[in-house]
Amino acid sequence: MNDECFYFGKSNFNLGCILGFACALITVIVPTVLCEPDDKHPNKQQAVGHLMPLGQQRLPEGSVHKVIGFPDAKRFFDDYVQQNEPVVFKGAANHIPAFKLWTDTYLNEKYGHIRVSAEQGKKENRSEKSFLLPLSEFLQVYRTEDVYMVQDLTEAFHADYSLPPCLSCGGFERGLEVGTIWFSSGDTQSVLHMDDVDNINCLLDGQKELVLIDREYDYLVEAEHWHQEGTYSDVDVAAVDLNKFPSLGQAPWWKAVVEAGDCIFIPYRWYHSVYSTPGRNLAVNLFFAHRLWLDEKDCDSKPEHPQDQYESLAKYRINSLHPEHVAVDKMRADIFEVFEGEPEIDLEYATDVWEDIMDPAEIQALFEAFDTNKDMILSWKEIYDADILELLGDFPFLLPENVDEQYEKPRDWQDGDEMDADHYQSSHHEHGEL
């Protein structure tokens, strides 16, 4: 079967390749089936989707669910965060001031003096270093040159941006870790990667197409050529070599199309690759710590309808912009995610779960440290009210081996500062696009 016979997505279908088409249909049931030899290589069989874009190796499981606008925090937590469910919020970005304001003219007049980070090349390469230039210069060249702006959402931009209403209470608002602006003339492609925090990306202009793979398929995605540091794959997403990545070709996947004015939620540790179609493409990501419990009482004072809850991001804090910040909510989630979905935790259950990493005396001491009302039951409120840094000082074995990398305090970069490109590159590649 010639590589051009079946190309799902951007269709290039050759009616002469009847045998290849039949083979591709079978992949719905048997993803690893082999096609017949082609004329040029009569003795060679080739897996479906070999050297084709990611997603052509088998048909998608379906499309990511779409709803109109943002839900409130409770529905967002119950239906999507806890359920590990990506979702597209149609039209949700239309109410964000930047959606209408951020024309090239406006950006140049208001922010042109700010030095921003850009990458050479629209196909993500994590070995390449970024460089700094004034936004005004980027605006002059981005439509004609192979450059991509990947910029911190620093405080200068916050007045024009809104916090998604579903993140405005319940504890979400305290775990806003990183904000990023993605800006190009389109035709950009990210690596296949995953982020260890949740994120919402709002598209202000253009269109994005995503391939998403549930974290439960980690044994397929990470089987070959996976970087644990940086959490990304070496696979060429434009031409998947199934000789090097046979397991990846078997991974079920979901597709999503995000249009201007839409926002998408991608749960933490979902694998994804993002393609921006040609044309001006401008988006903003907010990465936030995965939440294991929603403080519903904290949301009682919020308006009944989410569309009435859009508030300026200037009222909130992006933690990475503050040098003293340590990602305590992420630490909390890393420690207690094994109990996610449980209404409460007793000592017997905690002992069963933690017995491989602690002895019984350590488990009891840790349990009692969190159990502030001494009823021998851990509530999620007790867990989230606890001073996690103080407790981790007493129980350092709970932290992962690479704790210094996972919870490193980012440097504060105010507008106009001369941040070195090495630092800037690492801070953005820690969380890839979307």
DSSP state for residue 87 in the 8-state scheme: E
pLDDT of residue 128: 83
Q: Which segment of 22-36, 232-246, 407-421 scores lowest on mean pLDDT? A: 407-421
pLDDT at 71: 95
* 3-class DSSP assignment, residue 345: strand
For residues 148-164, average pLDDT: 97
Closest alpha carbon to 59 in 249, 214, 308: 249
The mean per-residue pLDDT over the stretch 309-338 comes to 91
Between CA 277 and CA 61 the distance in angstroms is 22
For the domain spanning 329-406, the CATH number is: 1.10.238
Instruction: Tell whether the model's pLDDT for residue 416 goes beyond 70.
Output: no
Distance CA 111, CA 250 (A): 46
List CB contacts of 292: < 8 A, sequence separation 6 or more. 332, 333, 336, 337, 339, 340, 380, 383
Using CA atoms, how far residue 361 sits from 329, 366, 398, in Å, is 26, 9, 14
Q: Is 329-406 in the same CATH topology as 62-324+421-429? A: no
In sequence order, the 6+-apart residues with CB closer than 8 A to the CB of 65 are: 85, 86, 87, 88
- Look at 74 and 43; give whichever has higher pLDDT: 74
Task: For residues 157-176, give the mean pLDDT.
Answer: 96
pLDDT digit string (tens) for 178-192? Answer: 999 999 999 999 999
CA distance 200 to 285: 6
What's the distance, CA 173 to chain centroid? 17
The sign one gets for the Cα dihedral 248, 402, 326, 131 is: negative
Q: What angle do CA 139, 125, 256 make, to 5 degrees?
A: 80
Task: Check residues 17 and 241 and name the one with the higher pLDDT.
Answer: 241
For 285-314, what is the mean pLDDT? 90
Across the strands, what pairs with 284? 181, 202
**Separation between Cα atoms, residue 143 and residue 219, nearest integer Å:** 40
Sequence letter at residue 191: V
Of 211 and 432, more confident: 211
Res. 21: pLDDT tops 70: no
pLDDT grade, residue 281 (50/70/90)? very high
In the numeric block, which tokens belong to residue 358? Answer: 């602690």
Q: What pLDDT does 399 receive? A: 63
User: Per-residue b/e over 209-218, b at no fewer than 16 CB within 10 Å?
Assistant: bbbbbbeebe
pTM for the whole structure: 0.84
End-to-end alpha-carbon separation of the chain, Å?
35
22 pLDDT higher than 70: no
Residue 315 is predicted with a pLDDT of: 96
98 by DSSP, 3-state: which?
Answer: helix
Distance CA 311, CA 99 (A): 14
**H runs (alpha helix) in 174-274:** 218-221
Percent of the chain past pLDDT 90, that is, above it, reads 71
pLDDT tens figures, 346-358: 999 999 999 988 8
Residue 16 pLDDT level (bands cut at 50, 70, 90): very low
Domain residue ranges in the chain? 1-48, 62-324+421-429, 329-406
Which pLDDT value is given to residue 391? 85
Binning pLDDT at 50, 70 and 90, where does residue 87 land? very high
425 falls in which pLDDT band (50, 70, 90)? Answer: very low
Report residue 7: phi and psi, to 5°.
Answer: -135, 95
Spatial separation of the C-alpha atoms in residues 419 and 434, rounded to whole Å: 23
Q: Give the chain's length.
A: 434
Q: What is the pLDDT of residue 432?
A: 64
Q: What is the pLDDT of residue 409?
A: 37
* Residue range 325-334: mean pLDDT, rounded: 88
Model pLDDT, residue 127: 80
Average pLDDT of the chain is 85
| Per-residue pLDDT band at 395 (split at 50, 70, 90) | confident
Top-confidence residue, 419 or 240: 240
Question: What pLDDT sits at residue 424?
Answer: 38
CATH number among 3.40.50.720, 2.120.10.30, 3.40.640.10, 2.60.120.650, domain 62-324+421-429 = 2.60.120.650
CB 52 within 8 A of CB 239: yes
Q: What 3-state DSSP class applies to 65?
A: strand
